Amino acid sequence: MQLLRKILFPVSLVYALVVYLRNFLYDQGIFSSKRFETPIICVGNLSAGGTGKTPMVELLVALLKDRYKVAVLSRGYRRKSKGFVLADAQATVETLGDEPYQIFSKYTDLALAVDADRRNGITILEEKIRPDVILLDDAYQHRKVKCGFSILLTSFDSLYVDDWYLPTGNLRDSKKEAGRAQVIVVTKCPQDLSLAAQQELQNKLRPKARQRLVFSYLAYGNRLIGNEGSIGFEDLRGQNVTLVTGIANPKPLLVYLEKMGVKFEHLKFKDHHSFSGTELEMLRQKQCILTTEKDFVRLKDKVDQLYFIPVRHKFLADGEAVLKQSLEEFM
């Protein structure tokens, strides 16, 4: 795969040129960005996947929902429905997509919608829901909408400043576009990341004076959640455990499970993987399956003995306070 990526370097140069021209046309006003009356907060990244966008959206919902009427709008990647869909009691993974359905499963009273046309989605939400704020999930590159506040995520072990354009690297946007963010979050940091190391990252990322830079790590739960309740890690002793992941970067989860002393086989699938009938039948033969929450919502009605490990962002130092203050200043 790495050799193929190197061979495709000329293609990445063409991709980089297209990205540059597109951003230039938006910057010059030749392509238009629409501003809406409702405050809009965008969560996204410059690279393809693996930075923790969905847990960040969930965190923002938790921070804002008690004071504001919050709506979430996502593209609904790989869903089977078309156009605008507003989540309701009949919503499924197929109608919403795995990540939006995961969010809605936790916040069933939340106004959550999916629409590939973000302008259309925002317009309908303003007409039907009249929210105080709209969270745009994975929309940093969606410049047809003028967001008032943008949160840019970059993974500790794969910083955008060290990356290159697709398909040779994972960048899907120009590094200089980081300058549009109000807050930059370095995600998936080691929990014991020192102040000196944080300063090194700040020197490397070089945020603008107006930008806030914070650091977060993934905090995994100590209980495993399944269809019929929860179990502890001690309940896994003596069982043949299979870890199933269909996410961009499962490495932090692997490290956590090893730290917890869990012995497992790992079946790794591509991000947003659609499990075939043959794969599902194979999984049904497993004694105990651990998976991510995103994969759980796609597998829970098809596989027994299935559990997911809850995960959320936690911030180093005063990161959460900095984020809250930035949001309050915007709202």
Q: What is the pLDDT of residues 157-199, one digit of tens each?
A: 999 999 999 999 999 999 999 999 999 999 999 999 999 999 9
For residue 48, what pLDDT is reported?
Answer: 85
What digits encode the pLDDT tens for the residues 276-292? 999 999 999 999 999 99
**Does the bond joining 167 to the residue before it have cis omega, within 30 degrees of 0?**
yes
For residue 1, what pLDDT is reported?
Answer: 61
Q: Are residues 54 and 148 in the same domain?
A: yes
Taking all residues of the chain, what is their mean pLDDT, rounded to a whole number?
Answer: 94
Unique residue bearing structure tokens 């990205």: 19
Does residue 52 have a known ligand-binding role? Answer: yes
How much is the average pLDDT of 41-49?
A: 92
Q: Are residues 212 and 235 in the same domain?
A: no
Exposure b/e, 3-23, CB count within 10 A at least 16 = b: eebeeeeeebeebbeebeeeb
For residue 3, what pLDDT is reported?
Answer: 78
Does residue 245 have a known ligand-binding role? Answer: no
For residues 174 and 76, the answer to whether their CB atoms sit within 8 Å is no
How much is the average pLDDT of 80-98?
A: 95
For residue 33, what pLDDT is reported?
Answer: 95
Q: Are residues 272 and 299 in the same domain?
A: yes
Which CATH number do you get for residue 204? 3.40.50.300
Tell me how many degrees the CA angle 65-122-76 measures, rounded to the nearest 5: 80
Which CATH number do you get for residue 246? 3.40.50
For residue 65, what pLDDT is reported?
Answer: 95
Residue at 24 is within a domain:
no
What sign does the CA torsion over 170, 175, 179, 184 have? Answer: positive
Does residue 74 have a known ligand-binding role? Answer: no
What is the pLDDT confidence band of residue 73, given thresholds at 50, 70 and 90? Answer: very high
How much is the average pLDDT of 83-96?
A: 95
Residue 237: give the domain boundaries.
222-309
What digits encode the pLDDT tens for the residues 193-239? 999 999 999 999 999 999 999 999 999 998 999 987 899 999 988 89
Does residue 50 have a known ligand-binding role? Answer: yes
Residue at 27 is within a domain:
no
Pairwise CA distance, residues 151 & 181, whole Å: 6
Does residue 47 have a known ligand-binding role? Answer: yes
Give the C-alpha distances (Å, rounded to integers) separating 300 from 45, 160, 241, 284.
Answer: 29, 34, 17, 11
Q: Are residues 161 and 175 in the same domain?
A: yes
Q: Are residues 10 and 130 in the same domain?
A: yes
What is the pLDDT confidence band of residue 138, given thresholds at 50, 70 and 90? Answer: very high
Residue at 25 is within a domain:
no
Q: Is 130 helix (H, G, I), strand (E, B) or coil?
A: coil
Residue at 204 is within a domain:
yes
How much is the average pLDDT of 100-118?
A: 95
Q: Are residues 240 and 212 in the same domain?
A: no
Residue at 268 is within a domain:
yes
Exposure b/e, 152-179, CB count within 10 A at least 16 = b: bbbbbebbbeebbbbebbbbbbbbebbe
Q: Are residues 68 and 207 in the same domain?
A: yes
Q: Are residues 174 and 320 in the same domain?
A: yes
Pairwise CA distance, residues 266 & 327, whole Å: 39
Question: Which tops the pLDDT comparison, 238 or 242?
Answer: 242
Q: Which of 168, 164, 245, 159 is nearest to 203 (CA)?
A: 159
Residue at 28 is within a domain:
no
Q: Are residues 262 and 190 in the same domain?
A: no
For residue 134, what pLDDT is reported?
Answer: 98
For residue 292, what pLDDT is reported?
Answer: 93
- Sheet with 229-232, strands from edge to edge, namely 229-232, 223-226, 306-308, 288-291, 241-245, 264-268
Q: What is the pTM of this model?
A: 0.93
Does residue 317 have a known ligand-binding role? Answer: no
The tokens of 254 are what? 């692997």
Q: Are residues 168 and 99 in the same domain?
A: yes
Residue at 277 is within a domain:
yes
At position 45, the amino acid (one-letter code) is N
Give the total number of structural domains in the chain: 2
Residues facing residue 218 across a β-bridge: 313
Residue at 26 is within a domain:
no
Q: Are residues 60 and 180 in the same domain?
A: yes
How much is the average pLDDT of 297-315?
A: 93
Does residue 48 have a known ligand-binding role? Answer: yes
How much is the average pLDDT of 141-155?
A: 96
Q: Are residues 212 and 260 in the same domain?
A: no
